[in-house]
Amino acid sequence: MLFKNIDKLVIAAVLIAFSQTASAEKIGKCDTPQCVEYFKKYKTAAKRGHPLAMLTLGQFYHHGYGTEEDEKKALKYFKKAARAGYTSGQFKAGYIFMTSEELRDIGDATYYLEKAAKYDYEGANFLLGMLHFDKKYDNRDLEKADEYFAASYKKKYEQMPTVVKFIEAEMPIDQKNFPQLYAAMNDRPLAQHKDGTLSFHDENVEVITITSPPLVQTFNKQLVSFRKAIKSTGTRFQGKTCAERLTCMQRADIADSTDFNNLFLDGFGGASNSQ
- Per-residue pLDDT at 34: 96
Phi-psi region of 199 (alpha: psi -120 to 50; beta: other; left: phi over 0): beta
Confirm whether 270 is domain-assigned.
Answer: no
Instruction: From 23, 18, 7, select the one nearest 206 (Cα to Cα).
Output: 18
Confirm whether 272 is domain-assigned.
Answer: no
Residue 69 sits in a domain whose CATH number is 1.25.40.10
- Per-residue pLDDT at 196: 84
Confirm whether 273 is domain-assigned.
Answer: no
Confirm whether 271 is domain-assigned.
Answer: no
Strands (E), 112-247: 190-192, 198-199, 205-210
Confirm whether 275 is domain-assigned.
Answer: no
Using a cut of 0.75, tell me whether the model's pTM lies above it.
yes
* Number of neighbours of residue 216 by Cβ within 10 angstroms: 11
Chunked mean pLDDT (size 10), the chain, 275 residues: 45 34 72 97 95 95 96 97 93 94 96 95 93 93 98 93 93 97 96 89 58 83 84 47 43 62 51 38
- Per-residue pLDDT at 84: 93
Give the Cα separation of 91 and 33 in Å (integer). 30
Confirm whether 112 is domain-assigned.
Answer: yes
Identity at 120, one-letter amino acid code:
D
Q: Tell me the residue range of the domain where 161 lies.
A: 3-265
Give the Cα separation of 180 and 170 in Å (integer). 18
Q: Is the distance from CB of 182 to CB of 174 less than 8 angstroms?
A: yes
Confirm whether 158 is domain-assigned.
Answer: yes
Confirm whether 241 is domain-assigned.
Answer: yes
Domain count, the chain: 1
- Per-residue pLDDT at 254: 73
- Per-residue pLDDT at 195: 87
